[in-house]
Structure 1
Amino acid sequence: MTDTPTEPAVQFRDDVTVELIKHSASDSDVLWAARVSTAGEQSLEEITKDPERSTGLINFLMRDRHGSPFEHNSMTFFVSAPIFVFREFMRHRVGWSYNEESGRYRELQPVFYIPGEDRKLVQQGRPGKYEFVHGTPEQHKTVAEAMEASYRQSYEAYREMLEAGVAREVARATLPVGLFSSMYATCNARSLMHFLSLRTQDERARTPSFPQREIAMVAERMEAEWAALMPLTYAAYNANGRVAP
């Protein structure tokens, strides 16, 4: 007699996960890449020199938008977030590589997104001139209850199909975009700066951006990791209006 597989417990989250799992990124990477244009093979000396002595060069490159020296580095992040975040994220194609978990090859786990109480719920104003404001306790209650009920129903339908022998790639069609997925995302500093310029809100930005809160949560965590790796480049980015070079 074989045991019947137990259905995994449904979980609800209001946060995201971002982990820097691998990197080759430092301010000196910008310097040797930039100096090869004038110093040739002597630019290799910059690899072992203190980048603090060349803060002015990094700022010049950022200010005048000489972007290619900022591409000679790499950061790989593990991200766990709702599927709708990934669909926005993957619009960033230049300088990014992605590998996401597949609903064709594994059974998807019942982890779903429900906005936290600090998530603004109500959109006011017309397109292009709108803002989000905090919802009432009643609105938050409505959102949480409606999402939870919908998630449970959709996952129950998914499991029902799997248990009937239906292929995972077919059964997954019932699952909503609030389901959590996971991926590896690899980028360089230049592509990350472009991502941050569009997916964060910051008073230092020359051009305002109005990202959806959930992708901004991912971007803010990536920004914190990058700032620690390349502090001079990060400072120059902010000093020059958070515009990708």
Structure 2
Amino acid sequence: MPLTPEAQAEIADARATPRPTLRAVSEGMEAHLYTAHPVLDHGFVRVIDYMGDDSAIVQAARVSYGAGTKHVSNDEGLIRYLMRHWHSTPFEMCEVKFHVKLPVFVARQWIRHRTANVNEYSARYSILDREFYIPAPENLAAQSTVNNQGRGAVLEGEEAARVLELLKSDAGRAYDNYEAMLSQDGQQGLARELARMNLPANIYTQWYWKVDLHNLFHFLRLRADAHAQYEIRVYAELMCKLVADWVPLAYAAFADYRMGGVNLSAKGLEVIRRRLAGEDVTQETSGMSKGEWREFEGVFG
């Protein structure tokens, strides 16, 4: 269960006591505030706080203090222009703080995105819960034969069952030993900061992660991509939905230009021009490496 009854009661209480404010409010994000959205088997994402909305991006770009004579269509056009031309500062005017519960190995990937403020649950002071990420059978896959970072065919039958049993038994045994080392029943008990070293990478941790919209978009572009590891991608995909409700105009531009768009190298652009002129261009005559050509053909055929 992602949240304890006590945590659920705390969330219900927070949502039941709204307060008036003069600051910009996103109705879409207000609907999500504090609510825990489940991810994986024990994880969740919830919005703790946010600042700004689509109008904050526009306001920063125009350095204005009111709506003036501008219309929503003008705002949308400006936001799309900013996204199209890789402007970043206006999007940094919006911020959001998430509470995330995630497996440690996912957290180690996530923390590579360093342009955020992070405060993680400390196993030096507290005892971690007996909660581990155990993949669903359809997510157990062999190593990819073409991508050193990816997965290949799904494991089946006895091999899948054996791997699942190993994951469960190893995690359980490690936690049993963790508790045994901490125990003060007839012994001093090992310090928490040392006992934690024995815990597996699939145990769950939690953190608060605060980030501005520009850097959040960068995170989502990489981690919500189909090539990202499944276990971090499901978090990013959920966060995409939250952001779409928070800043719909900005997210629509992001989805169009970043998630749905393609960046071309000078060589790639030249291949397109040569093909439009009727030339039959191959990898050998393109000037691209085999890897570049494979990615190019994956988009353009």
Q: Name the TM-score class by shorter chain.
A: 0.7 to 0.9
The CA distance in 2 between the partners of 1:65 and 1:101, in whole Å, is 35
The CA distance in 2 between the partners of 1:52 and 1:18, in whole Å, is 32
> Would you say the 8 A contact 1:85–1:215 is kept in 2?
yes
The CA distance in 1 between the partners of 2:42 and 2:207, in whole Å, is 16
Give the CA deviation at 1:18. Answer: 0.8
Amino acid at match of 1:145: E
Instruction: Give the alignment partner of residue 228 of structure 1, picking from 245, 251, 265.
Output: 245
Instruction: Give the alignment partner of residue 172 of structure 1, picking from 196, 200, 208.
Output: 196
The CA distance in 2 between the partners of 1:211 and 1:111, in whole Å, is 24
1:25 aligned partner: 52
Amino acid at match of 1:73: C
**Aligned partner of residue 106 in structure 1, secondary structure:** coil
2:36 aligned partner: none
1:212 aligned partner: 229
> Would you say the 8 A contact 2:97–2:210 is kept in 1?
yes
Matches within 5 A, 1:83-94: 83-94=104-115
Instruction: Compute the TM-score of the two structures, normalised by the length of structure 1.
Output: 0.82
Give the CA deviation at 1:135. Answer: 2.0
2:165 aligned partner: 145
Pick closer, same or farther for the CA change 1:130–1:229 going to 2, 3 Å. closer
Give the CA deviation at 1:125. Answer: 1.5
Matches within 5 A, 1:64-143: 64-94=85-115, 96-127=116-147, 131-143=151-163
After superposition, the CA RMSD in angstroms is 2.1
The CA distance in 2 between the partners of 1:186 and 1:212, in whole Å, is 22
Identify unmatched segments of 5+ residues in structure 2: 1-39, 262-301
The CA distance in 2 between the partners of 1:20 and 1:81, in whole Å, is 15
Give the CA deviation at 1:184. Answer: 0.7
Identify unmatched segments of 5+ residues in structure 1: 1-12, 37-42, 203-209
The CA distance in 1 between the partners of 2:151 and 2:160, in whole Å, is 18
Pick closer, same or farther for the CA change 1:50–1:16 going to 2, 3 Å. farther
Relative contact order (C-alpha < 8 Å, sep 6+): which is higher?
1
The CA distance in 2 between the partners of 1:161 and 1:229, in whole Å, is 46
The CA distance in 1 between the partners of 2:170 and 2:256, in whole Å, is 45
> Would you say the 8 A contact 2:140–2:160 is kept in 1?
no
Give the number of the structure whose alpha-carbon radius of gyration is greater: 2
Pick closer, same or farther for the CA change 1:51–1:75 going to 2, 3 Å. farther
> Would you say the 8 A contact 1:31–1:51 is kept in 2?
no
